[in-house]
Amino acid sequence: MKINKYLSKTLGFLFSNRTLTQRKGQIKRESGTVAANPNDHKLSTISTGEVNTRLCSLPWQKIIVNTQSNPPSAAPCRNFQPIWNAWDLEGISVALQVKRNNLLTGSLQRNCLECQDKRLASKSELLALLESEGLKDYDGNKMIDALQEAIKSPVMAPPEHLTYRVAHTKDPQSFIASGIISIFEILSLVRSYDTRQTCRLLDWGCGCGRMSKHIAEKFPEIELTGCDIDREAVDWCQKTIEKGDFLLIDPQPPTTFARGRFTSIIGFSIITHLTRELQQLWINELHELLVEDGILVLTTHGEYAARLYQLSNRLEIEGIIDERIDETLSDISPNGYYRSTFQSRWWTEQTWGQYFDTLEYIEAGAFGMQDILVLKKKSQIKIS
C-alpha cells in the first residue's frame, strides 16, 4: 500500500510537535453531552476581546468515528452524538465547514456552549491558535483529507484473512481507513507526551501493520519496532514495510527486547483480549521495556463498552470480566488464550497504578468503543 505525498504531508502536518501543545493534563471525556461548568466564564478572563467562542481547532483537525453503528457513524467531537454517516466524507466536510464558521463567528451550538474540554475565548485568541497550528488559512479537516486521499490511492492491503484477524474486516479500504483513524487517535497522544529528540516506538501487537504501515511511511524520524504472536502477520510486515523492525514474540513474556529500549509503546486492542493474569505479566514487561518516564498508550474495553454488552452492573462489582472466549485467533494462539475482556477504570488504574501514572483517560476514545489510557512509567514499582 503506497499513499501519495499529499497524504504524507497531511498526516505529518497534524502530528508535528507544534500542533500538539494543547493536550497536556489529565482528561476524562464522558460519552454523550457534557454538562456545563457554571464557573467556566469566571475561569476565562480575556484581555484581548469579547468572550464569544471556544478555543477549539478540532473541526480543522479530526473527527470521532463510532464503528459500533451500521453504517459507522461520526461526529465533530465527543460532545456531539455520532449521527453522521462516516463514509459520507463529502457530507461530513460540509457539516464541518459549518462548525468552523460557528466557532469563527461565535454562533455556537448548545453542545459547544456546554463544552468542558475547551475554554471560552475571544475570536482573536482562536485565530492565534489556528495560526500557531498552521490552520489559519486552511478551510478543511486534516483527517477527512487523509481519508479521502487514501481512498483514491492505489491500495496494497494484506490478505483478507490477515486484515480480518486485526480489524474484523475483509475490505481493504476499510482496513486502510481504520489505520489512519487510529493514527489520529493514538499516535497524536504519543507525540504529545514523548518529546524526546528521538522517539523509539514499539507497536505491541502490530498485526499485519494496520498502524505501523502509516507510521513507517509518514514519520521516518520515529524508530519503529513492531511485534506480534502472529507469525504470518509479522512476515507480511517484514516484507512490505520498508522502515522498521518486526519480530515474532511468544504469547507470554518475557520478550527478547533490551530493557529500557523504547521511549513509547502503543497497544491497540491487545489488553482487550487478555486475562487479568496475562495482563499483569505483560504490564510488568512493558514497564521494563520503557525508558524512565516512558509513555505507554493502551486501549481497553471499559464501562462504555460494558454498557453496550449489558455488563455494566457486573463490571461495577467485579472490576474485570475476562472469561469470555474470542475465537478470532484460535488458529494461532494457545487454547483459551484470546479473550474478550472488559475492565472498569477503577480496577485498571488500581491494578496498573503500581507500574504507571495515568496522564489521560479518554472514555470510548478509540472508534467510539474502547477507552484510551495514556500512562507514564514509574521509576519504582509500588507493590500493594
> In this structure, what CATH number is given to the domain that contains residue 329?
3.40.50.150
Is 165 among the domain residues?
yes
Could you list the residue range(s) of the whole structural domain that residue 87 is in?
Answer: 5-150
What nine digits make up the cell of 286?
Answer: 512493558
Could you tell me if 138 and 175 lie in one domain?
A: no
Per-residue pLDDT for 107 more than 90?
yes
Residues 6 or more apart whose CB falls under 8 angstroms from that of 144 comprise 63, 89, 92, 93, 96
* Residues 216 and 307 both lie in one domain: yes
Q: What is the mean pLDDT of the chain?
A: 86
pLDDT value at residue 235: 98
141 in a domain, yes or no? yes
246 and 215 housed in the same domain: yes
Do 169 and 54 lie in a common domain? no
Residue 154's pLDDT band, with cuts at 50, 70 and 90, is low
Q: Is residue 155 part of a domain?
A: no
Higher pLDDT, 47 or 153: 153
Q: Are residues 322 and 207 in the same domain?
A: yes
Q: Domain end: 99, 132, 150, which one? A: 150
Does any domain span residue 383? Answer: no
Res 84 pLDDT > 60: yes
In the predicted model, what is the mean pLDDT of residues 65-81? 88
CB atoms within 10 A of CB 148: 18
Q: Are residues 127 and 13 in the same domain?
A: yes
* Per-residue confidence (pLDDT) for residue 383, from 0 to 100: 65
Q: Percentage of the chain with pLDDT > 70?
A: 86
> With b meaning 16 or more CB within 10 Å and e meaning fewer, what string describes 338-367?
bbbbbbbbebbeebbeebbebbbbbbbbbb
Angle at 146 between CA 145 and CA 151, to 5 degrees: 100
Does residue 97 carry a pLDDT above 70?
Answer: yes
**Helices and strands per DSSP (H, E), number in the chain:** 15, 15
pLDDT score for 28:
37
**Mean per-residue pLDDT for 189-214?**
96
Whether 228 and 269 share a structural domain: yes
Confidence (pLDDT) at 34: 30
Judged on CB neighbours under 10 Å (0-12, 13-18, 19+), 208 is buried
Mean per-residue pLDDT, 241-257 = 97
Q: Does residue 137 share a domain with residue 105?
A: yes
281 grid coordinates: 505479566
Q: Is residue 367 part of a domain?
A: yes
DSSP H helices, the chain, are: 5-14, 58-61, 89-105, 110-113, 123-132, 142-152, 160-167, 172-182, 188-193, 212-218, 231-240, 276-289, 303-308, 312-318, 345-352
In the numeric block, the cell 480489524 is attached to 167
pLDDT at 82 over 70: yes
pLDDT of the residue at 9: 42
Q: 348 and 327 in one domain?
A: yes
End residue of a domain, out of 150, 180, 199:
150
Q: Mean pLDDT over residues 215-236, rounded?
A: 96
Q: What is the model's pTM?
A: 0.81
Reported as a pLDDT band with limits 50, 70 and 90, residue 12 is: very low
Last residue of a domain, one of 150, 178, 203: 150
pLDDT score recorded for residue 259:
98
Q: Say if 323 falls within a structural domain.
A: yes
